[in-house]
Structure 1
Amino acid sequence: MSDGQRTTERIALLLHKPDEEVARIVEELTVNGYLSTQTEGKVFVMNVELLKESFKMVAPRKEEFAQSFYNRLFTYYPETKTLFANTDMRRQESSLMATLATVISGVERGDNLVPVLNGLGKRHDSYGAAPEHYPLVGGVLLETFHEYLGNSFTPEMQEAWSQAFELISNQMIQGAHA
């Protein structure tokens, strides 16, 4: 709805539902921290409250978290290191954390993140990132959250990050091929 084209009135008109009913449903979803989208027959739900809660828990150690993420990525998948050959890794680590924060705050505000994620995908494509790299990154991200949060990283948080990362990576891949 954040693009201005999908107002509750317009959605109500398209669905042949009363404005009040659509407004109530949108408010319930917003209040409960849920944003969902459908792509290729799958419905992804981004539970912004769980994303935000887990991200806040690692924020005090964000530099260490990002370093651990990249160390793990390069250890498990040494072939990915060439993608960062000409990269200032301190800047890259900051960029990772800033991107995660941007996605969380954007989802929370109801922003249309598709153009941002498509652009990010285009940039990653120019660095040599390929679609097969995204699942590797997602797995390493989840494992890094587990490392830093231990038992505080609940199965629900893991599911929230897993779905969020799948949605993010799908949009980035689409942007790379646009």
Structure 2
Amino acid sequence: MARLRTLVSLFQTHPEVQDAFMPFQKLAQEDMEHSAILRSHALRVMGTVDKCLARIRTPEKLQTLMHELGERHVNYNARYDFVDLVGSQFVYAIKPHLEDGWSKELEEAWLQLFRVMSYYMKKGMQDANVITY
């Protein structure tokens, strides 16, 4: 449920992000938890986080993964400035599930991971937007 909460809270705090996703533009907040498309996207986001964690000791693989993801997102007309918003929403969604195990250090570690992920994803978006002649 945290995976879905990440996207729902992102749409609540930044409605312009919801408007950027064609399938979710007209979706009411109360209907989001029942959206198969939103649930599928949330699973892909969580899968990417899992892959990044699995590659944490091989940074070049993490960089490649996120760079390629950024390149693909250009094809979806994803907005460059929205990429940085996901990390804080992820922390907001996961924090209640860890209760007593949560600490400021853990929060900073998650945020740092998302900063790295965002950096390489945005780099991929930039590189994909370069026009060669």
Normalised-by-shorter TM-score class: 0.7 to 0.9
Stretches of structure 1 that go unaligned for 5 or more consecutive residues are 1-63
SS in 1 for 2:17: helix
> Who is 1:173 aligned against?
122
> Who is 2:88 aligned against?
139
CA distance in structure 2 between the aligned counterparts of 1:113 and 1:128, rounded to whole angstroms? 23
Aligned amino acid, residue 159 of structure 1: E
Q: Which has the higher contact order (CA 8 A, sep 6+)?
A: 2
CA distance 1:166–1:83, change in 2 (3 Å): same
Query: Going by fraction, where is strand more abundant, 1 or 2?
Result: 1
> Who is 1:79 aligned against?
16
Aligned amino acid, residue 68 of structure 1: R
1:95 and 2:40 are equivalent in the alignment: no
CA distance in structure 2 between the aligned counterparts of 1:90 and 1:71, rounded to whole angstroms? 10
Q: Matched residues, percent identical?
A: 24
1:65 and 2:2 are equivalent in the alignment: yes
Q: Number of aligned pairs?
A: 115
Query: Going by fraction, where is helix more abundant, 1 or 2?
Result: 2
Q: TM-score, normalised by structure 2?
A: 0.76
Stretches of structure 2 that go unaligned for 5 or more consecutive residues are 25-36, 128-133
SS in 2 for 1:80: helix
CA distance in structure 2 between the aligned counterparts of 1:95 and 1:160, rounded to whole angstroms? 21
CA distance 1:109–1:129, change in 2 (3 Å): same
Q: CA RMSD in A?
A: 1.9
CA distance in structure 1 between the aligned counterparts of 2:83 and 2:100, rounded to whole angstroms? 25
**Radius of gyration: which is bigger?**
1
Q: TM-score, normalised by structure 1?
A: 0.58
Equivalent pair of 1:145/1:153 in contact (CA under 8 Å): no
